[in-house]
Chains A and B, each alone.
Chain A
Amino acid sequence: MSVVELDDAVAVLGQFPALAGATLRVEEGEIVLLRGPNGAGKTTLLRLCAGLVPLVRGTGAVLGLDLATHRESIRRTVGLLGHQNGLYLDLTVAENVRFWGSTVGASDGEMQSAMQRLDVAGRLAGVSVSKLSAGQKRRTALACLIARRAQLWLLDEPHAGLDASARDELDETLRQAAASGATMLVASHELERAGSLATRTVDVVGGRVHAVIDDVDPRDPGSGNPPAAGVAT
């Protein structure tokens, strides 16, 4: 059973077909890098796999659950870190982590260690989220995500807004999660960082998914794929 199986999936934003027939299969333990221009449909693809947006055409399943009928069940098994952080701006870091942790029954110890791993324990814990920098907010969101122990991680440009050391820490966190068996889909423009983490890379263009041959250098989008006839290189 694949973790993600999409077959010609179509998902819309309003009237716009953000995802225009995506076909993708992800096996357990894979870390798949989604690369592509803005507006290509990477965010919608991740939200579809999270069970947030409905499947309009095509078929799809996440962790064996049908996307057409079992969206609610799918959500509990995945963790999505989107463009927004999913935080309450008027609560402090600690209050946010405590709330999100309690919704899944995480213990105080687990929440504390999650905050420490992302370096938001200590002084930052008592700061209102609205006063944090983008990077600090992202780390808080990750702390909330870690407490949830998801089986499939869906990360939408996780490095955005982080400084170099924060990015290193994020990479380390992701590596640890991957080592403990989590499957990941990462949309990113950070081709070098995410590429070194990824086991596989796919291109998302025009709402569709195109596989990139495995042993290609993710920093060079053109390598590994013979130019199609009629397309100038």
Chain B
Amino acid sequence: MTTTDPTLSQTDPAEAPPTSGAGTGTRGTRVIGVATIVAMGWLVAFGLGFSPEDRDQRERVRLLYVHVPTIWIAYLAFIVTAVASAVYFFGKKSLGWDRLAGASAEIGTAFVAVTLVIGAMWGRLTWGVFWQWDARLTTTALLFVTYVGYLAVRRLGGTHEQRARRSAVIGMLAVLEIPLVHWSVRLWRSLHQEATVLGTDGDVSMDGLMLFSLLVGVIAFTLLYVWLVMHRTRVMAMEDLLDDRGLDDALAARRAEAGPGEVAREGSGAL
């Protein structure tokens, strides 16, 4: 669906994605979508079925097949955000990179939330408490809040270019913040050894089938991430397009303010 309307934004035409219908699906997303479903099916089969229970954790270990992939993918998502932010800021200012950064951050934040929730469930079953201030959980919580802040900055309004520049700077600053947070929290927690009986990590020595299940989990969630990012960036492109159309309408209304008689004088506009 392309358009020949000449009044559309000249700086970065937010073209409608090449979809075949009213939604944001294309052949690419359908392929990935099917692959995701298949992979998720495998994950359910192996995670819930084929893989054995853990010696110490018994059935609870199955939560980790979701919990661990989600945090890895979240980190991947945030790296994508940082890279896309840098490409936008230092490169050609193409808004597609900004949309990628934003979509990836949204999905990454959602994945971190899932990680925290599942981690809390695991913790409740294992330690009897939903939360512990160990290094990993604390940094994950701070990671979550940091990107909630990034998403809040994206919503501050203004033109698309303004949003993109602001978000790109904040996105790149997050790359500065996260390592510092990691370092300080690790140092903090290593000095205060409050290890519980089972250790504060969720790590168990995994072997064979369990590792394979984990790998399936990583693949399944990566595919899910890609599928979500593709759709989300396209929806964002359409939202931007809608904004531009809104601007066209607003421009037309504004020009009409002047009244029909003014049009006749346009020819003498510039001296």
Nearest 10 interchain pairs by C-beta: A231-B261, A206-B258, A206-B257, A228-B264, A228-B261, A20-B254, A23-B269, A205-B258, A23-B270, A17-B251
- Quick one: which of B233-265 are within 8 Å of A by CB? 243, 246-247, 250-251, 254-265
Residue in contact with A206 in the complex, picked from B7, B161, B256, CB distance below 8 Å: B256
Chain B residues within an 8 Å CB radius of A15: 243, 246-247, 250
Partner of B159 from the list A54, A208, A229 (CB cut-off 8 Å) is A54
CB distance from A47 to the nearest CB of B (A): 14
> How many residues of A are in contact with the other chain, CB < 8 A?
31
Task: Mark interface residues in A214-233 (1 if CB within 8 Å of B CB, else 0).
Answer: 00000000000101111100
Q: Say yes or no: A54 contacts B161, CB within 8 Å.
A: yes
Residues on the A chain within 8 Å of B190, using CB: none
Please give, as numbers and ranges, the residues of chain B lying within 8 Å of A228 by CB-CB distance.
260-265
Residues of B within 8 A of A (CB): 7, 9-11, 157-159, 161-162, 243, 246-247, 250-251, 254-266, 268-271
Q: Is the CB of B269 within 8 A of A207?
A: no
Determine chain A's interface SS by DSSP, over half rule.
strand
On A, residues with C-beta under 8 Å from B are 7, 10, 12, 14-17, 20-21, 23-25, 54, 56-57, 68, 200, 205-211, 213, 225, 227-231
How far in angstroms is the closest Cβ of chain A from B3?
16
Decide: A20 and B251 in contact? CB cutoff 8 A.
Answer: yes
Q: List 29 A-B contacts (CB under 8 A).
A: A7-B270, A10-B251, A14-B158, A15-B247, A17-B251, A17-B254, A20-B251, A24-B269, A25-B271, A56-B11, A56-B159, A56-B247, A57-B7, A57-B9, A57-B11, A200-B271, A205-B258, A206-B258, A206-B262, A207-B257, A208-B262, A208-B269, A209-B269, A211-B269, A211-B271, A225-B265, A228-B261, A231-B259, A231-B260
